[in-house]
Amino acid sequence: MKKVILSLAVVTTLFSCSSNDNDTPTTQAPGSYSFERNGSTTVSYSGQTTRIQMGNELNDALKQTLETVASLNAKFAHSAGDNNFTDPALNASSKSLRSKTAASSDFFSANTTDATAIKAEFDSWIAAQVNEVFPNWNTDAAAGTAGKIQEAGGGSIRYVNAKGLELNQAINKGLIGALMTDQMLNNYLSPAVLDAGSNRADNDAETVASGQNYTNMEHKWDEAFGYLYGNEPDATSPVLNTDDFLNKYLSRVEGDGDFAGIATDIYNAFKLGRAAIVAKDYTTRDAQTAIIREKVSEIIGIRAVYYLQQAKSSLANNKGAAFHDLSEGFGFIYSLQFTRKSDLTAPYFSKSEVEGFISTLMTGNGFWDVSTTTLDQISTSIAAKFNFTVDQAGS
Chain centroid to CA 105: how far? Answer: 16
According to DSSP, the residues that pair with 36 across neighbouring strands are 41
Q: How many domains does the chain have?
A: 1
SS3 36: strand
In a domain, 286, yes or no: yes
State mean pLDDT over 43-50: 98
Q: What is the dihedral sign for C-alpha 289, 294, 295, 296?
A: positive
pLDDT at 26 over 90: no
In a domain, 26, yes or no: no
Share of the chain above pLDDT 90, in %: 92
Return the closest-CA partner of residue 129 out of 189, 210, 75: 75
- 326-356: buried (b, 16+ CB within 10 Å) or exposed (e) per residue? bbbbbbbbbbbbbbbeeeeeebbbebebbee
In a domain, 77, yes or no: yes
In a domain, 85, yes or no: yes
Q: Note the pLDDT tens digit of each residue in 112-137.
A: 999 999 999 999 999 999 999 999 99
Q: Note the pLDDT tens digit of each residue in 235-264.
A: 999 999 999 999 999 999 999 999 999 999
Domain that holds residue 42: 36-384
In a domain, 10, yes or no: no
According to DSSP, the residues that pair with 37 across neighbouring strands are 40
CA-CA distance, 205 to 75, in Å (whole number)? 41
In a domain, 275, yes or no: yes
State phi, psi for 19 to the nearest 5 degrees. Answer: -125, 140
* Interior angle at CA 127, CA 167 and CA 161, nearest 5: 35
In a domain, 5, yes or no: no
According to DSSP, the residues that pair with 25 across neighbouring strands are 19
Return the closest-CA partner of residue 126 out of 85, 90, 82, 175: 175
pLDDT of residue 25: 59
pLDDT of residue 341: 95
CA-CA distance, 154 to 393, in Å (whole number)? 28
Residue 313 burial (CB < 10 Å; 0-12/13-18/19+)? Answer: middle
CA-CA distance, 166 to 170, in Å (whole number)? 7
pLDDT at 390 over 60: yes
In a domain, 361, yes or no: yes
pLDDT at 12 over 70: no
Q: Note the pLDDT tens digit of each residue in 77-118.
A: 999 999 999 999 999 999 999 999 999 999 999 999 999 999
